[in-house]
Amino acid sequence: MDTTAEKYMEKLIDILKKKHVLLQSILSLTKAQSSQINEDAVEKLQKLIDEKQRVIDDINKLDDEFDVYFTRLKANVKINSLDELNAAGIESAKHLKEITAGIINLTMKISEVEKENDQKSKELLNKLGEEIKKVNQGKKISKTYASKPTNNPAYFIDKKK
């Protein structure tokens, strides 16, 4: 494998493009979760969460791979951060930064939708909690007023005999 800085940059850009696609998938799944929270569809919501976790695992693998190549690039070019790439004279540094900015914007959108979903799920949980309390109160009242009198047999003792 060619270990020039440009080859590392190509690999980093490729990884970031894959990550961007996966993050778009997460955004779609997160928006789909939002509609499922509204419809109280727990099974569908769980499937979306499971799918989202698989995508997150894929992103984590890409992040690990990115870290490996970025570490090699830093050692090759003798830099410490992405900001120093321009000074190192690497042509594709601008493209890498643009993709990184796109990923940051996408993660901010995902975060916003996640916050909305969190709020909706808390409201749904509170609503369900109130309904459970009402059902339990109804049961208590029903038991109290519908209780059967104790059927103790009456024992009469005839003392005349």
Locus of tokens 């005999």: 161
Whether 154 maps to a domain, the answer reads: no
Counted domains in the chain: 1
Determine, yes or no, domain membership for 143: no
pLDDT by position in tens, the chain (length 161): 445 888 888 999 999 999 999 999 999 999 888 888 766 677 888 888 899 999 999 999 999 999 999 888 888 888 887 777 766 677 788 888 899 999 999 999 999 999 998 898 888 888 878 888 888 888 777 777 766 656 666 666 767 76
Give the Cα separation of 27 and 107 in Å (integer).
Answer: 8
User: How far is Cα 25 from Cα 145, in angstroms, rounded to an integer?
Assistant: 56
* CATH code of residue 47: 1.20.58
Query: By residue range, what is the domain housing residue 33?
Result: 5-138
Look at residue 144 and tell me if it is in a domain.
Answer: no
pTM of the entire predicted model: 0.72
Residue 129 lies in a domain: yes
In a domain, 157, yes or no: no
Asked if residue 68 is part of any domain, the answer here is yes
Other C-beta atoms lying within 10 Å of the C-beta of residue 116:
15
Domain for residue 161, yes or no?
Answer: no
Residue 101: helix, strand or coil by DSSP? helix
Q: So what's the pLDDT on residue 134?
A: 83
